[in-house]
Amino acid sequence: MSDTDGRVPDLRTLLERVEAATPVDAIDVAADELATMLGAHQVSLLIADYSGRLLVRLGRTPGATGGRTQGTENAESVPLAGTVYEEVLRTQQVAVRELDEGTQVTAPVTVRGDAIGAMDLVLTTRPSPQQMAEIAGIGHVLGHIVVVNRRYTDLFEWGQRTTAFSLAAEIQRRLLPPAFTCEAGQFTLAGWLEPASTAGGDTFDYAFDRTTLHLSITDAAGHDVEAALLATVLVGALRNARRTGMDLSSQVIRANDKLAANSSPGWFVTGQVVRIDLNQETASIVNAGHPKPLRLRQGRVEEIELAIDIPFGLEPGRSFQVQPLTLEPGDRIVFVTDGMLERNAADLDFHTALRDTAHLHPREVVHAVGEAVLRLTGGKLRDDATVLCLDWYGGSAGRATHHGASQEHASTEAERSGQIAVAAPEHVPRTGVS
């Protein structure tokens, strides 16, 4: 993109200066460089917080009075609902607004479909269509800068925690995948966890390689640290078995035995573990005492009938039934924990909810379902409520991407009403953390 002097921004220089800075300063350095490159009055990054309902503007602002502060760091919370940021994250398109001080441009900051947040710029003149496209590309680069630098500092974690974490929640958080959304050529998936006031031990996980997509959703018995430790053993055992190349049957046998050997008698974890062969476009599933998944196919929602094995950890030395999970291009499969089905959320009709959100991207579906459960329960969940949504396209592994996101599968502005209608309390206090 050319700035006001006609020069082309040098992204190599940007990355070199970010690399030369400390990880804590990386975003400030990137913002300063981008402001110079683009002739902007200001550039700022807003990252999604762990509630999914706010963006947090990070900055180093000594003496700041707004937002949360920690030393010289400042984190200003900005609501998502009904704002330009909601529009930008939903559509994955750049938005332009005229302000008294200039033209504000807001771009999505997204990597592989995972909406990290948004970038704000204030320019002296309205950008051309090509400049807007180049700004979108810079937002994508900024996403990679965040992904890389958050490995070395707690700054981003602190910024995203708009509510305090308990010890159990801290443990639980480490069990979840680093990105809650992933777009690939043959599928898109997204997960979400609405935590109870005392973490209930829910997890979801995924990983894929050249030929296989692995998925799991689990729910540990009990609450607080005890449940988090049970979940830790099971998820760790599943990952360990998966990373040594075991097939699905061997993975769950190993995980079951490790859980039984490292927990008190009678403690258990329910769950479903899925393996999808990306070459053959076939899937298998193990169902260890867990609620049935739902499938949306050609406008019809139905439970997927599965045989039920006992939960993991109750009986060492046993095997589990590996069952076929049929896939057709266009299928949406939704896995849940029983917190989504608890008694005071019984008014949520999942079949209707999935039909009503069929047009939305999976990352919006899981947020909409989680929000509906919170509204129904008045924000007082008795157990964690977790949902994992898989859209299956099949076909080629190739992916058409536009600055970190698939425009083919993004929701349009006309489809922005993703809220699921339920009869529920208006005020939804936030309890716990995800």
Per residue in 55-100, pLDDT tens?
999 876 544 556 888 888 889 999 999 999 999 999 999 999 998 8
Domains of the chain with bracketed CATH: 11-160 (3.30.450.40), 167-415 (3.60.40.10)
> Can you tell me the mean pLDDT for 187-201?
86
CA dist list (Å): 184 to 88, 114, 153, 394, 409:
21, 11, 28, 10, 11
State the average pLDDT over residues 296-325. 96
Residue 254: predicted pLDDT: 97
For residue range 14-25, what is the model confidence (pLDDT) as tens digits? Answer: 889 999 999 999
The confidence band for 420, taking pLDDT boundaries of 50, 70 and 90, is: low
Mean pLDDT computed over 288-317: 96
| CB neighbour list of residue 427: distance below 8 Å, 6 or more residues apart | 378, 379
Percent of the chain topping pLDDT 90: 62
pTM: 0.90
Start-end of H helices in 216-280: 224-243, 248-261
Asked if the model's pLDDT at residue 3 lies above 50, the reply is: no
Sheet of 300-303: strands edge to edge? 181-183, 187-194, 385-392, 332-336, 294-297, 300-303
What's the pLDDT tens digit per position in 117-130?
A: 999 999 988 998 88
Q: Give 201-253 pLDDT, tens digit per residue.
A: 999 999 999 999 999 999 999 889 999 999 999 999 999 999 999 999 999 99
| Statement: residue 423 has pLDDT above 60 | no
307 pLDDT above the threshold of 70: yes
Beta-strand runs (E) in 175-330: 181-183, 187-194, 202-208, 212-220, 269-277, 282-288, 294-297, 300-303, 323-324
Q: Of all helices (H) and strands (E), which one includes residue 121?
A: strand 114-123
What does the alpha-carbon distance between residue 114 and residue 116 come to, in Å, rounded to a whole number? 6
Mean pLDDT, range 282-305, rounded to an integer:
96
Quote the CA–CA distance of 339 and 428 in Å, as a whole number.
17
DSSP letter for each residue of 4-28: TTSPPP-HHHHHHHHHHS-TTTHHH
Q: 107-116, 152-161, 168-177, 373-382: lowest mean pLDDT where?
A: 373-382
* Helix, strand, coil percentages in the chain from 3-state DSSP, rounded to 5: 30, 30, 40
Q: Please say if the pLDDT value at position 427 is more than 70.
A: no
Top pLDDT among 163 and 235 is at 235
Determine the Cα–Cα distance for residues 225 and 166; give it in Å rounded to an integer. 9
Burial zone of 288 (CB within 10 Å; 0-12 exposed, 13-18 middle, 19+ buried): buried
What is the token pair recorded at 427?
A: 């005020």
Distance CA 30, CA 9 (A): 12
Phi, psi (rounded to 5 degrees) for 27: -70, -40
Instruction: Determine the number of helices (DSSP H) and then strands (DSSP E) in the chain.
Output: 10, 18
